[in-house]
Amino acid sequence: MSDFLIENVRLIDPSSRLDHIGGMLVRDGKITDFGAALGRPDGIEIIDGHGAILCPGLVDMRVDLGEPGFEFRETVASAALAASAGGITTLAALPDSKPAVDDPALVRLLRSRGEETGRISVLPYGAATRRCAGEEICEIGLLREAGAVAFTDGAKAIRSSRMMRNLLSYAAAFGAMIIQHAEDPDLAIGGTATQGELATRLGLPSIPAAAEAIIVARDIRLAELSGGAIHFAHISTAEALTLIRVAKDRGLRVTCDTAPPYFDLNETAIGSYRTFAKLSPPLRSDLDRLAVVAGLADGTIDAIASDHQPRDADDKRLPFAQAAPGGVGLATLLGVTLAQVHNGELPLMRAIEMLTVAPAKLLGSEAGVFAKGLPADLCLFDLEIVWQVSVGSLPGKAQNTPFDGRALEGRVTGTWKAGRRVYV
């Protein structure tokens, strides 16, 4: 690890609303100074940023690591490579692995596995219920003590209203939130595409958009009843966003995130049964997509997560109805988000905020900010570099991206983790 000065960069830190040209000095892996008029100390490396943007390392609050149990899809090490290429230095790992993260030892293991890579910090979610089976509440206090940042059953909705009420109350006692996959299981069972003309024409079993809103409405009411904090993951519909907006206006402890497919793609991306675009929740109508874009801009949506769900070729090389849902998103998280900046829908400061300090705050992490004395977790990116997403050339093990062939403007040119350059 060397001391260095990055100069000739546009410093952007949403936590302090910093946005000006300058540089950053890093010593012993920590931020020593940053600003517009830094000198050049003797004996340190000088890095020319060439006018690119330097922001805090990105914080991704929804990642399926594949490990433990599904290493054939992804591992912590391979996910770390993809994260570094995407400017991500901190990520939250879903617990619905095999075995599920319902034991404090697994929480500690995932944290240490992240440290071993030298590239990422892993913030594990604890399973809300044992085995993520929805039948018995986990030992939330012990998992929290071991380092679990929040509690969820991952890609499974918590079906029982009584279970969710108890979870919200129990987690609140430990200062934790419950994260919900907002999809009514009974309405979603067997469905593969969003309900509408396209699903009918393709002959695909469908999931109504109301499946999301029904769970959101129920859990908002349960959060109010219990005083707990509920966070809705990968929100994708206009109706659900309206409910969340009203709940926030009422001062309830309700937050949400979305993922790039839900503001960049719509249901037509499944084309002729294109399984890389089979996601959970499914891609929606363009009206829903536009509502998600509006929710990003007006603050209804708190954060943007990659919703990285690795699948191997055998998971996807099947008829659409049988293929596994999910898409990778670590390497494309920033680029797809910046598309909303380039088209004028989202201010740059707001976009970076939802990728850094906003998710960090939700997770109770100090990451996602510039502050003297903190580890130098940094992301350098050029707004103008044009590149094309291509299956087979993405970093990491899994390649199942719904953005295959998508041209993006804006690319990471450097990532540092605790002052060590992990992506060039």
Task: Give SS3 for 122.
Answer: strand
Cα distance between residue 418 and residue 407, in whole Å:
31
Distances (CA, A) of 155 to 49, 159, 361: 39, 12, 22
Cα distance between residue 82 and residue 72, in whole Å:
16
DSSP H/E element including 170: helix 161-172
Closest CA to 91 of 388, 415, 311: 415
DSSP H/E element including 212: helix 210-226
Contact 38, 23 (CB under 8 A): yes
Distances (CA, A) of 88 to 72, 183, 302, 333, 396: 22, 28, 18, 9, 13
Rg of the chain, C-alpha, whole Å: 21
Q: Is 307 a catalytic residue?
A: yes
Contact 382, 104 (CB under 8 A): no
Cα distance between residue 31 and residue 221, in whole Å:
43
Per the structure block, which two tokens stand in for 402? Answer: 């719904």
| Residue from 64, 184, 307, 404 carrying the catalytic annotation | 307
Strand 378-388, strand 53-56: pairing: antiparallel
Cα distance between residue 322 and residue 400, in whole Å:
15
Contact 307, 65 (CB under 8 A): no
Prior bond of 104 cis (ω within 30°):
no
Q: How many residues does the chain have?
A: 424
Burial 138-164 (b: 16+ CB within 10 A, else e): bebeebbebebbbbbbbbbbbeeeebb
Residue 152 region by backbone torsions, left for phi larger than 0, else alpha for psi between -120 and 50, else beta: beta
Instruction: Give the position of tokens 């959101």.
Output: 216
Residues with catalytic annotation?
307
